[in-house]
Structure 1
Amino acid sequence: MGVDLTALHWIYVTFIVLIIGFMVMRRDTSIVCIVGIFLIAITATGSLSASVSSIFASFIFAITELLSTILVISIIVAMSKTLTTTGINDVMISPFTKFIRTPALAYWTIGILMMVISWFFWPSPAVALLGAVLLPVAVRVGLPALGVAMAMNLFGHGIALSGDYIIQAAPKLTADAAGLPVSDVINASIPLVVVMGFVTTISAFYFLKRDMKSGKLTVDSSQSVLPIKPSDEANQTLLSINQKRFFALFIPVLFALDVVAMFMFDLQGGDATALVGGTSIIILLIITMVSHKHQGLEKTTSYLIDGFQFGFKVFGPVIPIAAFFYLGDSGFTTIIGDFLPKGSHGIVNDLGLALANVVPLSKEVGAVTLTVVGAITGLDGSGFSGISLAGSIASLFATAIGAGAATLTALGQIAAIWVGGGTLVPWALIPAAAICNVDAFELARRNLKPVLIGLVVTTIVAMFLI
């Protein structure tokens, strides 16, 4: 096996089990992760002061690793707020309203538009950008508000977020935990995201049409108009209609150029994130200065503060969990020091080798386990807090099987985000449910069967790809 398992390995395994258990019980895992970091550190060093310091060092390491991701999401949210405040988003989306003439066209148009916008803006801002404009149109042509919420959820929080090909926040988290290049996880996830997306959205549409036909689901005309706040009315005069039209064209062109640059210069991971982030900052500055004029300087700071508040609120629970799982691989030496047993290849790799010697795992067992683990980690409702665990376990299983690290990592990522990112867990569905004025629990029930069908089919496909 190359190295004997020590107390460090068993503590790590014990806390993985505890973290999964707490997630299943829908309890927060931050304290569990911090205790795990402390126990691993004190077992390795034997020093109380060094162990206490390791907790702080692990947080610094995790934040350093995640900082570019937190920053780009914060900046994109800040930029999206300027688009909503100035009314540019209304103009950007309005051309698509003419395509929405039937319930079926409403479902697929809103869904595909949500997916594309979510790749660049992330789903939470995209819900706000789309919902207020397209909901009344969809309800008018006969698609219930619940159907609108499903389309936004499944295409945005499901397909777009589980792949996350532009911002690359999700694949970076899982790839880091699995000790893989981000590009490997992205490439492995493409067929799985496609299968999951097709199966889930088609299943959801079938069940939606069936219940509309039987009368179980009807259109409530009161949901066709959303109330406009006084502040929104006041903000409509920030830009002229011609200025809004210019920016509505200018913004997509800039992001399209970003995508072209990514392909031409082979930009991935941090480089791709930096390009999108820098473009978003430029857009934020230009729009704010043009629309708010003399108050532009102050408003720019205000928008950035709103964005950073959102970013750290989303990633606050992720940092302690990521800090713990970084100890399983590259982070151990940086955070605690050179205290691993002689011949060790990292805690996770050691466990994988040991597992391969004790229990000969198959690719089928590995795929099913990663789907279940991913789904369990998503139960906390963030989708992101547990994908480091999925990446860590994928690395462990791939070592035992001897192949499939990237595919298993991508599978765990997809399961975690589809469950927790905003399609099944009711408290993660609140943004879409609130925009569409529907019950979050009813939306979760509607999504349950299509998502489960999708996960089963995607897991089977992953078995053949490992």
Structure 2
Amino acid sequence: MGIEITALHWIYVVFIMLIIIFMVRRLDTTLISIVGIFVIALVATGDFVASIGGVFNSFIYAITELLSTILIISIIVAMSRVLTKTGINEVMIAPFTKIIKNPTLGFWTIGILMMIISWFFWPSPAVALLGAVLLPVAIRAGLPALGVAMAMNLFGHGIALSSDFIIQGAPKLTADAAGLPVGDVVMASIPLVITMGVVTTVVAFYFLKRDMKRGTIPLVGTYDNSTEQELEQTENLLSMTQKKLFALLIPVAFVLDVVAMAIFDLQGGDATALVGGTSVFILLILCVIAFKKKGLDQTTSYFIKGFQFGFKVFGPVIPIAAFFYLGDAGFLTILGNHLPETSHGIVNDLGMGLAALVPLTTEIAVVTLTGVGAITGLDGSGFSGISLVGSLGNLFGTAIGEGTATLTALGQIAAIWVGGGTLVPWALIPAAAICNVSPFELARRNLVPVIIGLIVTTIVALFII
């Protein structure tokens, strides 16, 4: 394939392994990520001073890429704190307590709702819509905040995003690269999506219930203790009539957002922006009405609290995100053109290099597509490598004489489950932040179920072909 694997590629692999070891052993990854960025920069440029600057520039790149997520999380948290402070949240969640009566119902209800909404509008706005309302209900029913985050994450960023049946952004990319009609890839992905989704969520729920019985999971999120302090300071600032009115109008506002998304075909970032803007206006109106003359000051105060929370949650993640962004388009922006001319980015090069090393049998082709998909997902987008798996699906399918659509769909599922937001820490931050749990702890919780799911799905793909 003409791919040149250099020292940079091997250094990147070594630091990926070190970061994974650090995460599994519950060690902080900041130091190893920064050292990895510096070493790669030094080898690439040969300039000590430029390498030091490269660390800073990589942080800027990571923050720029993550900024929209930081903003939506900060604004939603600020709004939810006002809802809690005024007592509106209590009234809003009351109807849901009749449905979500125990942890099992909480996990599966939240997960399925998340999956359905994510199919239509992608997961980020769905997290914002569901998390603020259903998290308190689930906790009261006995489902830990970490369990809520797992449900939203696995069903939204896992099942819905990897299948993408409605919007079809992911299958369109893979189908184009494989030279197939998008419908063929969608149809081929259905049994694989079902297998991956069922196996992963059932295994995750089993481990969750096991640890709940052992009492090793705190009921509420403790990643940012100021949320608990805020709950203790709830005040009766509105009359019951006002609380009921706002408890009705606020969900109506978000339902109208959903309608607008459908009418104006708003997806991804545009849909998230609409939810964020709506939350800003809700925050403004509530502060003015609840705090009256102090409303202007309180508005600023809540924005500050929201941004403090957002950057506190993202702070530990920015260095590791900066490192992994070097594996894709971030390398050129941060360090300049120091890769071989034939390079498609470090991560994609590694995936293509792996594919070039293996003999083309059906069994090897299936395992390789899963492996390449998972490797290309390590940059955290999930989407950057799916064109590559589409091309490889076409190559392998042609070589073995069958199964091109299935191979393409398998690579797509592996890439998005790993990179779209169930294993890479910064990609699953929306669910972690809304639930006030550590994104690294959520990634650790997802690791075994997702690996088991990928293994079973790979075996099923082998039988389908």
Q: Normalising TM by the smaller chain, what interval?
A: 0.5 to 0.7
Q: Secondary structure at the match of 2:380?
A: helix
> Matches of 2:435 and 2:124 in 1, distance apart?
21
Match of 2:380 among 362, 374, 388: 388
What is the CA-CA distance between 1:459 and the residue it aligns to?
A: 5.4
> Matches of 1:275 and 1:124 in 2, distance apart?
11
What is the CA-CA distance between 1:42 and the residue it aligns to?
A: 2.2
Q: Secondary structure at the match of 2:5?
A: coil
> Matches of 2:437 and 2:46 in 1, distance apart?
49
Amino acid at match of 1:365: V
What is the CA-CA distance between 1:416 and the residue it aligns to?
A: 3.4
Q: TM-score, normalised by structure 2?
A: 0.67
Please identify, of 54-63 and 449-458, the stretch whose mean Cα deviation from structure 2 is larger. 449-458
Seen in structure 2, the aligned counterparts of structure 1 residues 231 and 328 have a Cα distance that, compared at 3 Å, is closer
What is the CA-CA distance between 1:29 and the residue it aligns to?
A: 2.3
Counterpart residue number, 1:340: 339
Counterpart residue number, 1:49: 49
Task: Summarize the alignment of residues 153-164 of structure 1 with structure 2, pairs less than 5 Å apart.
Answer: 154-160=150-156, 162=158
> Matches of 2:415 and 2:16 in 1, distance apart?
16
What is the CA-CA distance between 1:71 and the residue it aligns to?
A: 0.9
Q: Structure 1: where are the runs of 5+ without partners? A: 139-144, 169-173, 224-228, 378-385, 434-439
Q: Secondary structure at the match of 2:59?
A: helix
Counterpart residue number, 1:364: 366
Q: Secondary structure at the match of 1:342?
A: coil
Contact residue 366 and residue 462 of structure 2 kept, 8 A: yes
Contact residue 89 and residue 129 of structure 1 kept, 8 A: yes
Amino acid at match of 1:152: V
Counterpart residue number, 2:264: 265
> Matches of 1:465 and 1:235 in 2, distance apart?
56
Tell me the percent identity: 52
Please identify, of 78-87 and 37-46, the stretch whose mean Cα deviation from structure 2 is larger. 37-46
> Matches of 1:261 and 1:360 in 2, distance apart?
50
Counterpart residue number, 1:382: none
Deviations 1:158-195 (A, max 9, x none): 42454687xx9xxxxx99xx9x99xx9xx98x967765
> Matches of 1:448 and 1:20 in 2, distance apart?
11
Contact residue 387 and residue 416 of structure 1 kept, 8 A: no
Deviations 1:379-399 (A, max 9, x none): xxxxxxx76297778787666
Seen in structure 2, the aligned counterparts of structure 1 residues 432 and 323 have a Cα distance that, compared at 3 Å, is closer
Task: Summarize the alignment of residues 12-411 of structure 1 with structure 2, pairs less than 5 Å apart.
Answer: 12-99=12-99, 130=134, 138=141, 145=142, 152=148, 154-160=150-156, 162=158, 198=198, 235-360=234-359, 362-366=364-368, 369=371, 388=380, 403-404=408-409, 405-411=411-417
Contact residue 157 and residue 417 of structure 1 kept, 8 A: no
Deviations 1:208-245 (A, max 9, x none): 99x9xxxx979xxxx9xxxxx99868744211112111
What is the CA-CA distance between 1:40 and the residue it aligns to?
A: 2.2
Seen in structure 2, the aligned counterparts of structure 1 residues 353 and 15 have a Cα distance that, compared at 3 Å, is same
Please identify, of 450-459 and 77-86, the stretch whose mean Cα deviation from structure 2 is larger. 450-459
What is the CA-CA distance between 1:265 and the residue it aligns to?
A: 2.3
Amino acid at match of 1:156: M
Seen in structure 2, the aligned counterparts of structure 1 residues 160 and 240 have a Cα distance that, compared at 3 Å, is farther
Please identify, of 403-412 and 237-246, the stretch whose mean Cα deviation from structure 2 is larger. 403-412
Contact residue 85 and residue 235 of structure 1 kept, 8 A: yes
What is the CA-CA distance between 1:151 and the residue it aligns to?
A: 6.2
> Matches of 2:437 and 2:341 in 1, distance apart?
52
> Matches of 1:328 and 1:251 in 2, distance apart?
42
Contact residue 127 and residue 432 of structure 1 kept, 8 A: no
How many residues are aligned here?
Answer: 406
Please identify, of 89-98 and 364-373, the stretch whose mean Cα deviation from structure 2 is larger. 364-373
Seen in structure 2, the aligned counterparts of structure 1 residues 81 and 370 have a Cα distance that, compared at 3 Å, is farther
> Matches of 1:204 and 1:350 in 2, distance apart?
32
> Matches of 2:81 and 2:207 in 1, distance apart?
34
Deviations 1:120-161 (A, max 9, x none): 78879977755655665x4xxxxxx36x77863553354245
What is the CA-CA distance between 1:76 and the residue it aligns to?
A: 0.8
> Matches of 1:277 and 1:38 in 2, distance apart?
36
What is the CA-CA distance between 1:348 and the residue it aligns to?
A: 2.7
What is the CA-CA distance between 1:18 and the residue it aligns to?
A: 2.5
Contact residue 80 and residue 121 of structure 1 kept, 8 A: no
What is the CA-CA distance between 1:360 and the residue it aligns to?
A: 4.2
Contact residue 75 and residue 307 of structure 1 kept, 8 A: yes
Seen in structure 2, the aligned counterparts of structure 1 residues 258 and 458 have a Cα distance that, compared at 3 Å, is farther
Amino acid at match of 1:43: V
What is the CA-CA distance between 1:293 and the residue it aligns to?
A: 1.3
> Matches of 1:334 and 1:285 in 2, distance apart?
38
What is the CA-CA distance between 1:420 and the residue it aligns to?
A: 11
What is the CA-CA distance between 1:63 and the residue it aligns to?
A: 0.9
Contact residue 61 and residue 334 of structure 2 kept, 8 A: yes
Contact residue 152 and residue 432 of structure 1 kept, 8 A: no
Amino acid at match of 1:336: L
> Matches of 2:320 and 2:124 in 1, distance apart?
26
Contact residue 200 and residue 451 of structure 1 kept, 8 A: yes
> Matches of 1:254 and 1:417 in 2, distance apart?
33
